[in-house]
Structure 1
Amino acid sequence: MLGLCDGMKGVSLVAGIACLVALAGCRPNQVAQPTSPARSPSASPSPSPSPSPLPPQRLEAALPAPIEETGAATAAGRLYVMGGFNAAGASLASVYVFDGNTWAAGPPLPLAVDHPSAATLDDHVYVAGGHSYGRDSARLFRLDSDHWTELASMHFARGGHGLVAAQGRLYAIGGNNSRGNVGPLEAYDPGSNTWSVLTALPAARNHVSGFVANGAACVAGGRSPTTGRVDCFDPASGAWSRLPDLPLPTSGGGATSFVSGDVVMTGGQDASETRIVDQLVFYSQGGAWTGSEKMMSPRHGFELATFEGRAWACGGGSAPGLHPVATCTSVGDGPAASLNN
């Protein structure tokens, strides 16, 4: 799931040449420093350049059609946005593919679904779960060149979950179905084409945002009830742990990780589901969620995917409920940029 992000400092130069100040005199509130050695203007150090601000958010090429509650992932140098709702509330089988220049139609999904989740494993796009015209799905599909291959279904149908690729497996985390929130965690092994049921998500919820952090499969936010909680499953230990909570509780936003290991989280809806949460925050290992910008074109109902080094948010709803848009925005890796400045 997935991979859709998707800032400051200034340095002043203390200038002043003592002998020139002495000749010119000081203004009433200035203090002369007669012991400072005189330097010629040509010898004065140049002002240090101001560091570049955090990578700005950017408006990208719009999708061919307005959609929300989609899955998104990248593979083979392309960005894929799949499924979702259209403006009429119909579940979609559409697949849109961006090559860095233009959008084109890709092979349609075998099943029209909204609220699926997507992830990339071994440079293949996978789409799991979702709801198809109100019916819950447990099906898993892999994109193989120009067609989709159906693989083993999950044990639990679910939509509004996070599909996260970590350490060679896919993890289906959270979500809901007609019976309520789905607690059990499931792991897919591509070698055996099987799903295993693992330790349940400590706080079952839906409309979560999935990402990878330090090799762990994580979900942030979610609802029923709406929360800022962040839970991570470590495949090596088989245990859950928590990262710092998001600054603002949210559901239906997007999260993804960059090559640096930094994570970005943005968008979603508030607890009342009457307002879009416009937070844009970053997490670096061992730190807290930080950020001072707001999401460009705030939305809910999208997945973030990392494409060409930036986190892309394509489609989504511009207001709570069904308000799909074709907007695409992206954001760069803020923490990494700060460390490099």
Structure 2
Amino acid sequence: MSWSRTSRRCASRALVLSTALAAALATPALLAPGAEALPTGTPTTGTPSPTSPASTSPQPSAGAAAACPPLPHIAGPLRTWETAADLPAPRAHVAATTGCDGRIYLLGGEAITAGGGGVGGGVPATPTATPTATPTATPTATPTATPTATPTATPTSPAGGGTPTATPTGATGGGTTGGATVAGAPVDTVQVYDPKRDAWSNAPALPTARDHLAAATDTDGRIYAIGGQTGGGTPTDTVEVYTPSSGDWTEGPSLPRPMGTPSATRGTDGKIYVLDATTLAVYDPDSGDWTTGGAPPSGAGAPVLVGLPDGRILAAGGSDGSSASSDAYAYTPGSGSADGSWAKVADLPTGVSEAAGATGPDGRVYVVGGRDSDGDTVGSTQVFTPDGDRWSAGASSALTARSGHGAATGGDGRVYVAGGTSGSGAPLDSAAALGE
């Protein structure tokens, strides 16, 4: 009889403890600090649900613009040029764009070397080199002079906003494993400048080597390499897309037609605008479609093309085939199904072709260098203030006397120029930064 009473008392206490423990597990406030309640109705093992934090398949959307943080606000104007880290090797007729990580991506171009070293990435050919990252396929180095068009570089830091780096088995760019790149031959080099470290690093090479190409960055951080010229100066409609987070290149939607000397920029509407002497092509990343419109009345080829803070697209300078143009036009995108339109704005003080430019953190546009109508390389910086529709002379420097270079605004708010050619036409490896 006494044993039966004890058993009932123990069973009753066990029921109370079990009920209290269940309540604690369901109520985080009842747990020890730092502990987490177990989820109800969700398995703790197996494939995570689409809403689980463990999901690693981000989907592009119209809200992806948040991936690109705004530049730091600087009242401006930017007045002081300083040297930046040199490129590993001289390159000209490159494309430049700023990634959502604040780094500057310099794509393609052409290069010349003196002697037998590899070019493009500026990394000497090393037939026996082994990638430091684990590749998806074991690369086999062949110590011969036979070019290989397939890059074997594998990024060592593919995650997130990490600096894309590559350890090649041969020279990055030009698709060579030794010897010099032929003068004027397009290269497949991609290099990334980090303003915080003042240093360049290699990224996976372009699938298609080309020069005179254009580049733009989508709001989700992907880098578009657009058009340009392949071997023999042949215009191409090729578009290739680089994803910094994975280190992968993929084939993008081809241009409506081949463009040998395009200019490109992203508008405040998230669309990518590509312009040559006769056609404006507009790419909508949300739909994946291209539409076309007319070029500015000037018909100048290879103008500086930048987005303005008010949503317009500025096209300035370029070449009409016989002289450098001083014309400048602003494109106002249409709304809905309506077409956009070009309107004349103030002329450049000095007409320039093969110049490069970028919109600074102060909203002004900085057009740097180029060649005048006599074909001479200039070192001027011409500054456009959209609110007042006026140009003014900016800081000049021997650092800016170049043409065929790339320009972009870094995440630190400074405008950078890199590469290009000197007055003699020789490719440059120098870079410079314009700040306050």
Residue type of the alignment partner of 1:109: L
Residue 256 of structure 1: aligned partner:
358
Distance 1:128 1:211 in 2: 15
Give the CA deviation at 1:217: 1.6
Residue 40 of structure 2: aligned partner:
none
Asked whether 1:170 is paired with 2:277, we answer no
1:129 and 1:140 in contact (8 A); partners too:
yes
Cα deviations across residues 7-46 of structure 1 (Å, max 9, x unaligned)?
A: xxxxxxxxxxxxxxxxxxxxxxxxxxxxxxxxxxxxxxxx
Residue 279 of structure 1: aligned partner:
380
2:302 and 2:353 in contact (8 A); partners too:
yes
The change in CA–CA distance for 1:199 and 1:89 in structure 2 (over 3 A counts) is: closer
Q: Secondary structure at the match of 1:226?
A: coil
Asked whether 1:153 is paired with 2:250, we answer no
Report how many aligned residue pairs link the two structures: 273
Q: Secondary structure at the match of 1:57?
A: strand
Residue type of the alignment partner of 1:150: E
Residue 91 of structure 2: aligned partner:
67
The change in CA–CA distance for 1:158 and 1:295 in structure 2 (over 3 A counts) is: farther
Residue 217 of structure 1: aligned partner:
313
Residue 337 of structure 1: aligned partner:
none
Q: Secondary structure at the match of 1:203?
A: coil
The change in CA–CA distance for 1:149 and 1:55 in structure 2 (over 3 A counts) is: same
Asked whether 1:144 is paired with 2:243, we answer yes
Structure with higher strand content: 1
Distance 1:160 1:216 in 2: 21
Stretches of structure 1 lacking an aligned partner (at least 5 in a row): 1-51, 175-181, 334-341
Distance 2:222 2:381 in 1: 28
Residue 206 of structure 2: aligned partner:
109
Give the CA deviation at 1:54: 5.2
1:117 and 1:159 in contact (8 A); partners too:
no
The change in CA–CA distance for 1:53 and 1:82 in structure 2 (over 3 A counts) is: closer
Structure number with the bigger relative contact order (C-alpha 8 A, sep ≥ 6) is: 1
Asked whether 1:121 is paired with 2:202, we answer no
Give the CA deviation at 1:287: 3.6
Q: Secondary structure at the match of 1:207?
A: coil
Residue type of the alignment partner of 2:332: D
Give the CA deviation at 1:332: 2.4
1:160 and 1:208 in contact (8 A); partners too:
no
Residue type of the alignment partner of 2:248: H
Residue type of the alignment partner of 2:218: L
Give the CA deviation at 1:53: 9.4
Asked whether 1:269 is paired with 2:366, we answer no
Asked whether 1:207 is paired with 2:302, we answer yes
* Matching of residues 6-21 of structure 1 within 5 Å: none
Give the CA deviation at 1:320: 5.2
1:229 to 322, 327, 339: 327
Distance 2:385 2:298 in 1: 23
Residue type of the alignment partner of 2:203: G
Distance 1:293 1:58 in 2: 11
Q: Secondary structure at the match of 1:138?
A: coil
Residue type of the alignment partner of 2:433: S
Distance 2:238 2:424 in 1: 27
Residue 301 of structure 1: aligned partner:
404
Moved more, 74-83 or 62-71: 74-83
Residue type of the alignment partner of 1:56: T
RMSD: 1.8
1:139 and 1:153 in contact (8 A); partners too:
yes
2:81 and 2:395 in contact (8 A); partners too:
no
Cα deviations across residues 42-86 of structure 1 (Å, max 9, x unaligned)?
A: xxxxxxxxxx99531010001111000000011112111110010
Cα deviations across residues 262-307 of structure 1 (Å, max 9, x unaligned)?
A: 111111011132x102221211122411125324320000121000
1:81 to 103, 106, 110: 106
Residue type of the alignment partner of 2:234: R
Give the CA deviation at 1:199: 2.7
Residue 36 of structure 1: aligned partner:
none
The change in CA–CA distance for 1:83 and 1:53 in structure 2 (over 3 A counts) is: closer
Distance 1:183 1:74 in 2: 26
Give the CA deviation at 1:325: 0.7
**TM-score, normalised on structure 2?**
0.60
Distance 1:287 1:232 in 2: 10
The change in CA–CA distance for 1:173 and 1:289 in structure 2 (over 3 A counts) is: same
Residue type of the alignment partner of 1:205: A
Distance 1:206 1:288 in 2: 22
Cα deviations across residues 154-183 of structure 1 (Å, max 9, x unaligned)?
A: 112113221111121111111xxxxxxx41
1:316 to 420, 424, 428: 420
Distance 1:183 1:57 in 2: 35
Distance 1:311 1:257 in 2: 8
Moved more, 118-127 or 239-248: 118-127
2:77 and 2:364 in contact (8 A); partners too:
no
Residue 244 of structure 1: aligned partner:
346
Structure with higher helix content: 2
Distance 2:225 2:397 in 1: 26
Residue type of the alignment partner of 2:207: P
Distance 2:428 2:347 in 1: 29
Give the CA deviation at 1:329: 0.5
Q: Secondary structure at the match of 1:191?
A: coil
Distance 1:201 1:195 in 2: 19
Give the CA deviation at 1:143: 1.2
1:57 and 1:296 in contact (8 A); partners too:
no
Moved more, 61-70 or 165-174: 165-174
